[in-house]
Structure 1
Amino acid sequence: MPSVRPSRRTVLLAAPTFAAGAVGGALWARRSGDAAAGTAGSASGGDLPGATDDVGGGAPGGVAASTGDGTAVIPRGPAVVTRTTFRSAARGRDVSMAVVSPVTGADDLPVCLVLHGRGDDAPRGVALLGLDTALADAARAGVTPFVAVAVDGGETYWHPRASGDDPERMILSEVLPRLTDQGLRTTRLAAMGWSMGGYGALLLAQRHPDLVVAVAASSPAMWRASGASAAGAFDSAADFAAHEVLGKPPAPGVAYRIDCGQSDPFYAVSRQAADELSATERGFGPGGHDPTFWRSALPAQLAFVGRALAPAASPSPPPPASRPAAG
């Protein structure tokens, strides 16, 4: 079987699956100073309507996709995934980062950060959502391709803590430079997450609207008062007040989508946040605070993110100036 010819920065890898399960695909990674491990496997895949062989000289079964800067190939099956481990000075520990790409043969793709919930980490979060399969399916369905990047945030609720553990600084000063070195587009991002990570994605946009242009939050873990918050979510009442999302207006220039199940304990605050943030998209149907609901919301969230990260249409050139008739 002919292989997809990598772009000038791209290397295709193959290795065993994550122990967590459903993370798959042949993996592309670029040279950096971090230890990287590729993953391969099949979370679903199979033949898809409209798939064609040898698209653009790529692998059989691939389909063509426009990236805004040209055409890339979406292989059949799950998206390609790579896992990198690096020492985070901001968090004072080794952390994992999982990069999920639905295409091969493309550089300069936009990025959506994926912030996990409490008790998860980057590779488990990818597996929990079935993100490798969902992202590839979205790209094959016509969603503008982008790379999803999951990273370990511990149980910090994605904000600086009194202990010195600072996942926000890790994202800004350690994760984004690594992604830039890999040839990804990091000046205009989206963020998505569930539970603790849903709150973290909303908070990141609130604090950095110059960077984050869209947020898709599932069941964001938020409380109206410090005393009602989960144990360990904040260091103090002052820490809670400094990192509130509820009761705040939308960040300028940020598009919001919020999803929450009607049986979820965060349903009322999610509805409140959707109203306060003027969410342009929202999904409030049956479901609870669990992966089943988060996976059900994922296709619409990926489409929302793809629209937000799509390259702006080039303005039409002005018509030629009319010239006065001679005579």
Structure 2
Amino acid sequence: MPIVSRRSVLIAGLGGVAALAGAGAAYGLVEADVLPGRYRLAPYLGKCGEMPPLPKVAPGAVEQAEFRSPAGGTARVVLGYPAAVTKGLPVVVMLHGSDGDARTPFDTYGVQYHLADAVRRGAPPFAVAAIDDWADAEWRPSPVITRNLLPFLRDHGLSTTRIGLLGWSIGGRGALLLASAVGPGRVAAVAAASPALSEADVTALGRTLGGVPASLTCGRDDAFAPPTRDLLARLRAAHRADVTGGIHPGCHDAAFRRRMLPDQVVFLGRHLSRV
């Protein structure tokens, strides 16, 4: 049986300590974004948080409808209301993420519950509307929103003189781009959670979005936190409209976005009431 010297044991022990120290240093670099991997590690480190429960309130009415699309087919729209009143309300158009559809705001985020709860607590009422396939091939807002969806909503008895916009992930980016393109004359307010922004988006929106009240939120452990923080700073520096939101604990997931939804519903209702 080979004899292990005290010196070799000491060297092995020091090697183990060095390995642990190296691992700790590497983790610190990941957390500081010097090394990649922070956002992939976050769920395993318990940084994302649980999906919050829905408000304990009777949800508003939800209905599904269709209209003729420019391509000649039909486009699905899902509408939500805060209570029995379904006519004459201002409306918020909601843009789903890349793996969602018109049902996602209702089935995943429970917007009908949050809307009913906000109105119960005294927020001004409004309707919400989501549409399938709102984006073009480059994930920019399609003309179908302004050319077809808004006239459909007006014919459905909703007020579309000035609208609100709400989006999640790539839909958050879409909501911000659409608000910028249409402008404050038509958009009363825009809200985006976890917006999938590029540096080019931030530069452009920082110049063009300043006149529209905006609520921007992103998880601290979300790869889109830096551009969201940058855009918030630019919009606040412009001093042209109400800007709220920030970077909060959480990840790029539905749990974070549902946590942000109550405040964003109140924000949108407040500005829509001034229409």
Same fold (TM over 0.5): yes
Asked if the contact 2:175/2:190 (under 8 Å) is kept, the reply is yes
Distance 1:282 1:105, change over 3 A: closer
1-side partners of 2:146 and 2:64: how far apart? 19
2-side partners of 1:245 and 1:130: how far apart? 29
SS in 1 for 2:66: strand
1:270 maps to 2:270? no
Question: CA shift at 1:126, angstroms?
Answer: 2.0
Larger helix percent? 2
Which string of whole-angstrom CA distances, capped at 9 and with x for unpartnered residues, describes residues 36-61 of structure 1? xxxxxxx9675xxxxxxxxxxxxxxx
Higher relative contact order (CA 8 A, sep 6+): 2
2-side partners of 1:203 and 1:92: how far apart? 26
2:161 alignment counterpart: 187
1:83 maps to 2:64? yes
Question: CA shift at 1:217, angstroms?
Answer: 0.6
Give 2:189's aligned amino acid: A
Asked if the contact 1:246/1:272 (under 8 Å) is kept, the reply is no
Q: What is the aligned counterpart of 2:195 among 216, 220, 229?
A: 220
Which string of whole-angstrom CA distances, capped at 9 and with x for unpartnered residues, describes residues 162-197 of structure 1? xxxxx5311111111111111111010110101011
1-side partners of 2:209 and 2:191: how far apart? 14
Question: CA shift at 1:158, angstroms?
Answer: 4.5
Asked if the contact 1:260/1:284 (under 8 Å) is kept, the reply is yes
Q: Which has the larger radius of gyration?
A: 2
1:235 alignment counterpart: none
Give 1:291's aligned amino acid: A
SS in 2 for 1:249: helix
Give 1:275's aligned amino acid: A
1:135 alignment counterpart: 115
1:104 alignment counterpart: 84
1-side partners of 2:54 and 2:190: how far apart? 27
Q: What is the aligned counterpart of 1:246 among 197, 203, 206?
A: 203
2-side partners of 1:309 and 1:127: how far apart? 24
Q: How does 1:1-327 map to 2 (within 5 A)?
A: 77-89=58-70, 93-105=73-85, 107-153=87-133, 156=136, 158-159=139-140, 167-209=141-183, 210-224=185-199, 244-247=201-204, 248-251=206-209, 253-278=211-236, 280-311=243-274
Which string of whole-angstrom CA distances, capped at 9 and with x for unpartnered residues, describes residues 69-97 of structure 1? xxxxxxx61110111123311x6653211
Which string of whole-angstrom CA distances, capped at 9 and with x for unpartnered residues, describes residues 182-218 of structure 1? 1111010110101011000100111001211211110
1:50 alignment counterpart: none
What fraction of aligned residue pairs are identical, expressed as a percent? 38
SS in 2 for 1:287: strand
2-side partners of 1:134 and 1:106: how far apart? 16
Give 2:192's aligned amino acid: A
1-side partners of 2:97 and 2:221: how far apart? 18
Asked if the contact 1:96/1:123 (under 8 Å) is kept, the reply is no
Asked if the contact 2:134/2:144 (under 8 Å) is kept, the reply is no
SS in 2 for 1:273: helix
Distance 1:262 1:102, change over 3 A: same
Asked if the contact 1:119/1:155 (under 8 Å) is kept, the reply is no
Asked if the contact 1:258/1:270 (under 8 Å) is kept, the reply is yes
SS in 2 for 1:168: coil
Stretches of structure 1 lacking an aligned partner (at least 5 in a row): 1-42, 47-75, 160-166, 226-243, 313-327
Residues paired across the two proteins, number: 215
SS in 2 for 1:259: strand
Which string of whole-angstrom CA distances, capped at 9 and with x for unpartnered residues, describes residues 207-242 of structure 1? 0012112111101111125xxxxxxxxxxxxxxxxx
1-side partners of 2:80 and 2:209: how far apart? 27
1-side partners of 2:59 and 2:55: how far apart? 6
Distance 1:83 1:305, change over 3 A: same
Stretches of structure 2 lacking an aligned partner (at least 5 in a row): 1-52, 237-241
Give 2:66's aligned amino acid: T
Asked if the contact 1:259/1:297 (under 8 Å) is kept, the reply is yes
